[in-house]
Amino acid sequence: MKKLLWLLLLISRIAQAQSNSQPEIYLLGSMHDMHMKADIRYSLIDLRHEVEAIHPDLVCVEIEPEAFNAPMEGYFPPEAAYLAALVPQMHTRVVPTDWRIATAWQDRADQQIPPEQAKRIKDSQQKIAERFKAATDTPEVFEFVHGEMQRIADEQFMNVIGEDNAADISFGAWHERNRRIVENCLAASDGARKILFVYGGAHLPQLGREMRDRGLISHLAPKLYTPAGISPVPAAVIARWQRNLENLKAIRDGNLKTSIDNREKVKESNRIANLEEAIAVYSPHDR
């Protein structure tokens, strides 16, 4: 009996030690260009307040390491550069952790999707877009991103698109991309006790699945901010966005030396327009 009690106590202590060695991991969904909408109740100001309230040791953002503070940084969502400029002021580390495949691979795969599956994907995307648009007009937009959107995105990428097929590659090798995002973040964690991923809301189901595959527990971020609306962001953010905008225009126009793939990525994206909108919306205005 004593041996059994001792064994149970040992197992309990081992489990507790393992639990104590694992960091707290939170997944916070962003909304890319929707953060720029005047009446949105999840502005970039709100995003900053949410990050501050979570108070992480490490923030993993949606920028490739090779693009961080480099000419292609503007190709990634504006909120990622926004956080990259502000997070150090919170006495927190920020690391770029995204991963992308070549545009040529995506374009080729897009042509290889079976017609029946292509129609299912188109229908699914249309339904998601309609539901997303309806949700952005409500006060519960944050709850939608971290609730219903999770179920919708998981259904699309697991059941409609799938893995290791042409559709998956067409969507940027979605499963492998999220796998690499997690690997990049964990590799940079360096003893962090509380890790925060800030990625587009559709990433969160797959990021959570990748955590579970590694025996880690992640949590969807709870809403901790009070909607504050849109107001000017620090000058350092505007300067960073402006630099990124100028770099993207130079890449698009062939005035900045880069790879053919980078140029195609910029041309096929809406990032130039996104950055112009971000600068216009969040710059100080004369009253």
Output DSSP code: residue 60.
E
Residue 131 Cα to chain centre, angstroms: 20
pLDDT in tens, 218-241: 999 999 999 999 999 999 999 999
Output DSSP code: residue 162.
-
Which residues are 199's β-sheet partners? 29
Q: What pLDDT does 4 receive?
A: 52
CB 97 within 8 A of CB 188: yes
Q: Which of 238, 240, 248, 227 is nearest to 281 (CA)?
A: 238
pLDDT in tens, 145-198: 999 999 999 999 999 999 889 999 999 999 999 999 999 999 999 999 999 999
CB 272 within 8 A of CB 242: no
Q: How many angstroms separate the CA atoms of 157 and 159, rounded?
A: 6
Q: What pLDDT does 128 receive?
A: 86
Residue type, 28: L
CB 240 within 8 A of CB 48: no
User: Which CB contacts under 8 angstroms, 24+ apart, belong to 228-233?
Assistant: 228/43, 228/45, 228/46, 228/49, 229/43, 229/45, 230/38, 230/40, 230/43, 230/44, 230/45, 230/281, 230/282, 231/45, 231/282, 232/282, 232/283, 232/284, 232/285, 233/44, 233/45, 233/82, 233/282
What average pLDDT is seen over the chain? 91
Q: How confident is the model at residue 264 (pLDDT cuts 50, 70, 90)?
A: very high
- 3-class SS string, 206-226: HHHHHHHHCCCCEEECCCCCC
pLDDT in tens, 3-60: 554 544 444 444 443 445 789 999 999 999 999 998 889 999 999 999 999 999 999 9
Torsion of CA 55, 59, 61, 67, to 10 degrees: 140
Q: How confident is the model at residue 136 (pLDDT cuts 50, 70, 90)?
A: confident
pLDDT in tens, 8-21: 444 444 444 344 57
Q: Residue 195 — left, alpha, or beta (φ > 0 → left; ψ -120 to 50 → alpha)?
A: beta
Q: What pLDDT does 280 receive?
A: 97
Q: What is the largest distance, in Å, between two alpha-carbon atoms of the chain? A: 79
Q: Rounded to whole angstroms, what are the CA distances from 128 to 95, 167, 191, 202, 252? A: 30, 17, 38, 11, 30
What pTM value is reported for the model?
0.90
Q: Which of 135, 132, 146 is nearest to 30 (CA)?
A: 146
